Amino acid sequence: MRNILTPMMMPHRLIMAALALAGLTAMALTMQWDWLPANLPRLWDGLLMTLAMLAGSVVVGFALALPLALFQVMGPAPLRWLSLGFCTVIRGTPLLLQLWLFYFGLGALFAQFPEIRDSWAWPYLRQAWPYGFLALTVSFAAYQGEVMRGAFTGVPHGELEAARAVGMSPWLVFRRVWFPRALHRALPTLAGEIILQLKSTPLVATITVTDLYAVITRIRQTTLLTYEPLLLLVAVYLCLSGILILALRWLENRVPTQR
């Protein structure tokens, strides 16, 4: 705790904290917040949707990123080109476009097949969130595939050779040395990418997923307030980013390395 708290006690930080506090007080006293209590349940649901979109797309996207990265590093040529193509296309087009292609494109396509309409999956596929989740996941996978590709190639060759020299199988080399080393090297970048991913989640509101941003938009429409709901949104995203940054930094600092 000490090494987290000490830097926060620096004079410039204290002044900034005081300014923020003054701002908050001014907002609470001069602005209109009476809509807040009645809307808390909806806001909570929206927050959960935002967090679910973030956590789900980060976890599944990262799981997809590993094969994407490995195919590019050491896969046979067809898989290598396929992964490279996938990453390039996804990273080269706007997330909003992908989201709409999935929702309006795939969604409309699915609806044309009776087999799909009658299947167990239809109750899910007729909702919006699977498409939001899919788009966010695919995008995260493509970016992280690129990050992990760099991290895998960056692990010093000698460390892998030492692992082989003690008799490790290729899988054991991967599990015990290559992957943990690459992950640790990628962590700072990964941390930034997760924050970016959090800030991409509001896009799902454009396909009617009711995340936190969508809830706030509705509140603005019903209350005719401009700033108050948006300021709340700012505060929540800031808090989420802050928590993520601290958690990931803690993770990074658990292993001291020079690289």
Partner 1 sequence: MDDKPAIRIRDLHKRFGDLEVLKGVSLTAHPGDVIAIIGGSGSGKSTLLRCINMLEHPTSGQIAIQGEGYRMRPARGGGLEPADRKQVQRIRAQLGMVFQNFNLWPHRTVLENVTEAPIHVLGQPRAQAIDRARQVLARVGLAEKADTHPIHLSGGQQQRAAIARVLAVDPLAMLFDEPTSALDPELVGEVLGVIRDLAREGRTMILVTHEMAFARDVANRVIYLRDGRIEEEGTPEQLFGDPQSPHLKQFIRSVM
Give the nearest distance from C-beta 146 to partner 1 in angstroms.
22
Q: Burial code of 232-255, b = ≥16 C-beta within 10 A, e = fewer?
A: bbeebbeebeeebeeebeeeeeee
* Stretch binding partner 1 (CB under 8 A), from 33-41, 103-111, 163-171, 197-205: 163-171
List the x/- string, 107-136, binding to partner 1 by CB under 8 A.
Answer: ------------------------------
The CA-based angle 137-73-168, given to 5 degrees, is 105
Binder of partner 1 out of 60, 84, 168, 248 (CB under 8 A): 168
Q: How many residues does the chain have?
A: 259
Cβ contact 234:254 at 8 Å: no
169 binding partner 1? (CB under 8 A): yes
Binding-site size, partner 1 (CB under 8 A): 23
Give the nearest distance from C-beta 250 to partner 1 in angstroms.
16
Cβ contact 98:134 at 8 Å: no
List the x/- string, 171-210, binding to partner 1 by CB under 8 A.
Answer: -x---xx--xx--x--------------------------
d(CA 98, CA 135): 6
d(CA 98, CA 157): 38
Q: Which is nearer to partner 1, 3 or 258 (CB)?
A: 258
Judged by the rule CB under 8 A, the positions of this chain that interact with partner 1 are 156, 158-159, 161-169, 172, 176-177, 180-181, 184, 255-259
